[in-house]
Structure 1
Amino acid sequence: MTFAIPFDNSYARLPEAFYTRQDPQPVAAPHLLAFNEDLARLMGITPGEVTEMAQVFSGNDIPDGSLPLSQLYSGHQFGNYNPQLGDGRAVLLGETIGTDGLRRDIQLKGSGRTPYSRGGDGRAWLGPVLREYVVSEAMHALGIPTTRALAAVETGEQVFRETALPGAVLTRVASSHLRVGTFQVFAARGQTENLKQLTRYAIERHYPQADGPMGLLRAVSEAQARLIAQWMSVGFIHGVMNTDNCSIAGETIDYGPCAFMDAYHPSTVYSSIDRMGRYAYSNQADIAVWNMAQFATALIQQMDSRDAGVEEATEIVHAMPGLLQSEWLTRFRAKLGFQQQEDGDQAMIADLLTRMAENQADFTNTFRALGSPAARDQFLDPQAFDAWQDGWTDRAAWEEDTAATLSASNPSVIPRNHRIEQMIGTAVAGEHALFHRLNAVLSAPFADHPDDADLTRPPSESEVVQATFCGT
């Protein structure tokens, strides 16, 4: 059986102002660590020999039908506009149309220098590659829109950060790699025709029901509202919500200094580069609105009637906090086992979260244990939970099947930071058992895993991860 990818490359048919033709840079001795057979099957990819796939997914061999390129974009990074970013260490091999009819990008991440590398080496080391593989696939299993991992390859070379580390390449799959920053770069340069063409392309690819630039803004705002509420519901902190990391497809993209909370606190920050807490857990909804305001500003530049565009964009952006709140409430109602809507639900959710923050209760385990005696064990003062539980028990009595809703809405297992760090440490030492074990268990996050109960345990004091780091 010969390895084959059925490419159909729509982005490469856009003008070359949108990208730079760019082959990946070869590596010394590629070794395939992981290949996502289920995703490959969905994409219509025919697997081949392990050595053959290692050559392709490292960038050493360009498969038939591929038109490699690096995409151009700009973006606001921590609120400051950078006029040119782009794929500084990634190459888009092309696109496939899967057996489900959906178009997806195939991108090599860590594939070497590009014109957008800004002095970087364009490479990735093994730790961030394995983190993104595990966490993105875990997010998919949680039902949260996300880029996915098709393959991970060790390069047989070292990359140098603070020390020499094993190099690796991730093959990332996305509905597209269009970002808010993709629009910003053309708007900032006054390239109206390119902006119009990009808008038409984005609508056709992602939101064919959208009517023009403001229809696109409305659709992306709604998708972002759903996405952020889903993040919040599992305690996920993206860590670097810059506009160049904001996918217009409404997918989670760029798993750099990301993390899942252990003990709940709304101001939790893990990212080592987020020194002011701009992207803290509780700020993510506000930042999503801010990002959509930047998207609106870019889209308006192509409109004949700027005043009308500003008016409509203002209405859309100002409506977004209400969308976010509605989506958040739907998610957290379900986390309490509620399907019906009652006026006191928001106050009940807020009360529980306050008590959790005051008592260092584990976010995932507290919600998973609701309805069982184990929930109170998550609190430093179990009586703080008892005082809340009486009202919840009365409210839950109005529901038909609280237990089923709880089980379907609250995962038993997440990619905990200390386990990810342990996995990276063992992988650097050449042992990949924990990597494969995490992938297997996290593929069924809503099931009970009695044989893997250690993966559901919060970190001990010595295991707590204080900071997470970007992969560059």
Structure 2
Amino acid sequence: MTLTIPFDNSYARLPDGFFARQAPVPVRAPRLVAFNEGLAQILRISPGDVQEMAETFAGNTLPEGAEPIAQLYSGHQFGTYNPQLGDGRAVLLGETVGTDGVRRDIQLKGSGQTPFSRRGDGRAWLGPVLREYVVSEAMHSLGIPTTRALAAVETGEVVLREGPMPGAVLTRIAKSHLRVGTFQVFAGRRQVANLKRLTDYAIDRHYPQADGPMGLLREVRDAQARLIAQWMSVGFIHGVMNTDNSSIAGETIDYGPCAFMDRYHPNTVYSSIDRMGRYAYSNQPDIAVWNLAQLATALIQQLDDPESAVQEATEIVHAMPGLIQQEWLKHFRAKIGLITEEKGDEALITDLLTRMAHNSADFTNTFRALGGDNARDQFLDPEAYDEWAKGWRARQEREQDPQAVMKAVNPAFIPRNHRIEQMIQAAVQGDYAPFHRLNAVLAHPYEDQPEASDLTHPPTEKEVVHATFCGT
């Protein structure tokens, strides 16, 4: 059986100034670690034999119809503008239109140097590849828009980071890899024709209902508002919300030093490179608004009446905090079993979160336990929970089936940091059982899985992961 991918590559038909044509750099001894058969079916990919897939998803052989390119973009990194970034270690093989009618990119991440690599080696080591595979697929199962993982391949080569590491390549699937930074690079260069071409392309691909650049800005705003609220509802911290990591399609993209909180605290930071806490858990809504403002600044440059465009864009951006808050309230109401809206709901939710922070309560386990009878056990001072629960139970009496609501939205399983690290360490030693087990359990995060109850446990003091790394 031969691997076939029904490519239909629209981005590669744009002018050469949008990308560099770049084939993946072959590796020495590719070995297939994982292949996502369910996702392959959606993409209408017919799998081949194991070695053929290893060669293809490592970049050693190009499937028929592929047009490999490295995309150009720029971006604000921790608030500082970098005028040229681009795919420094990734190659977009092409696109497919799936069985659901959705067009998606197929990208190899860790596939070697490109013209945008700067001083990087263009490679990835096994740890970040497996982390992104597990976490992105877990996010999909949680119902949160995200890029996905199609395949992971060992390269048989060594990558030098803090020491020699086994190399790997991830095949990433996205509705597109268009970023805020994709628009910024053309705006920064005053290449208005390319900016207009990109805007038309983005509208046609993602938001055909949008009316021009400001219509696109509204659609991106709404998609990002929904996404950020969903992140907050599961305790997810992206870690590097630079504009080049902000997807126009409203998907979670670029899983570097990402993490899910264990103990709840609004100022939680895991990313080793976020030394000032710019992208802390509680800052994510504000950063999303800041990123949207950068997109607005770029889009305005193509409009004939910049003064009125600035006014309209300002109104669009200024509406975003309220939209995020609406989405946040909707998700957190459901997390405590509420569907109807009442005036005191926000105060009830924030009171719970404050008490959780003061009592080192585990974020995921506390909300899951609200559907049972042991939520108070998550608090250092159980009476702090009891005081809050009086008002909560009174509020729930006005709801129809709060238990079912809570169980449907509060996961029992998340990809906990210490389990991810343990999985990576096992894989480096050649043991992929923890990797496959995590993927299997996290595919059903809202289901009780008694045989996997150990994966719900917070880390012990020795297991706590204090920092996560981007892998470049």
Whether these two folds match at TM > 0.5 is: yes
Q: Deviations over 1:167-214 (max 9, x none)?
A: 000000000000000000000000000000000000000000000000
CA shift for structure 1 position 352 = 0.0
Spell out the pairing of 1:58-457 with structure 2 (5 A cutoff): 58-457=58-457
Question: Would the alpha carbon gap of residues 371 and 68 (structure 1) be closer, same or farther in structure 2, given more than 3 Å must change?
Answer: closer
Residues in 1 aligned to 2:199 and 2:471: alpha-carbon distance in whole angstroms = 30
Q: Which runs of 4+ in 1 moved over 6 A?
A: none
CA shift for structure 1 position 150 = 0.1
Q: Residues 158 and 164 of structure 2 are in contact (CA less than 8 Å); yes or no, is this contact kept in structure 1?
A: yes
CA shift for structure 1 position 449 = 1.1
* Amino acid across the alignment from 2:226: R
CA shift for structure 1 position 121 = 0.3
Residues in 2 aligned to 1:431 and 1:398: alpha-carbon distance in whole angstroms = 51
Q: Name the TM-score, length of structure 2 as normaliser.
A: 1.00
* Amino acid across the alignment from 2:54: A
* Amino acid across the alignment from 1:385: Y
Q: Residues 114 and 122 of structure 2 are in contact (CA less than 8 Å); yes or no, is this contact kept in structure 1?
A: yes
Residues in 1 aligned to 2:291 and 2:106: alpha-carbon distance in whole angstroms = 25
Q: Name the TM-score, length of structure 1 as normaliser.
A: 1.00
CA shift for structure 1 position 13 = 0.3
Q: Deviations over 1:400-444 (max 9, x none)?
A: 110110000100000000000000000001100000000000000
CA shift for structure 1 position 374 = 1.3
CA shift for structure 1 position 101 = 0.5
CA shift for structure 1 position 162 = 1.2
Question: Would the alpha carbon gap of residues 79 and 376 (structure 1) be closer, same or farther in structure 2, given more than 3 Å must change?
Answer: same
Q: Residues 75 and 84 of structure 2 are in contact (CA less than 8 Å); yes or no, is this contact kept in structure 1?
A: yes
Q: Residues 371 and 407 of structure 2 are in contact (CA less than 8 Å); yes or no, is this contact kept in structure 1?
A: no
Residues in 2 aligned to 1:148 and 1:198: alpha-carbon distance in whole angstroms = 24
Q: Residues 413 and 446 of structure 2 are in contact (CA less than 8 Å); yes or no, is this contact kept in structure 1?
A: yes
Residues in 1 aligned to 2:426 and 2:152: alpha-carbon distance in whole angstroms = 16
Residues in 1 aligned to 2:325 and 2:72: alpha-carbon distance in whole angstroms = 33
Equivalent in the alignment of 2:57:
57
* Amino acid across the alignment from 2:166: P
CA shift for structure 1 position 318 = 0.4
CA shift for structure 1 position 373 = 2.4
Q: Secondary structure at the match of 1:307?
A: helix
Equivalent in the alignment of 2:37:
37
CA shift for structure 1 position 2 = 1.6
Structure 1, unpaired ranges of 5+: none
CA shift for structure 1 position 471 = 1.4
Q: How many residues align?
A: 472
Residues in 1 aligned to 2:349 and 2:258: alpha-carbon distance in whole angstroms = 25
Q: Secondary structure at the match of 2:374?
A: helix
Q: Secondary structure at the match of 2:92?
A: strand
Residues in 1 aligned to 2:385 and 2:330: alpha-carbon distance in whole angstroms = 22
CA shift for structure 1 position 308 = 1.1
Residues in 1 aligned to 2:288 and 2:454: alpha-carbon distance in whole angstroms = 34
* Amino acid across the alignment from 1:348: L
Residues in 2 aligned to 1:2 and 1:293: alpha-carbon distance in whole angstroms = 47
Residues in 1 aligned to 2:431 and 2:90: alpha-carbon distance in whole angstroms = 26
CA shift for structure 1 position 372 = 2.4
Residues in 1 aligned to 2:457 and 2:254: alpha-carbon distance in whole angstroms = 26
CA shift for structure 1 position 148 = 0.1
Question: Would the alpha carbon gap of residues 373 and 425 (structure 1) be closer, same or farther in structure 2, given more than 3 Å must change?
Answer: same
Q: Secondary structure at the match of 1:462?
A: coil
Q: Secondary structure at the match of 1:248?
A: coil
Q: Secondary structure at the match of 1:203?
A: helix
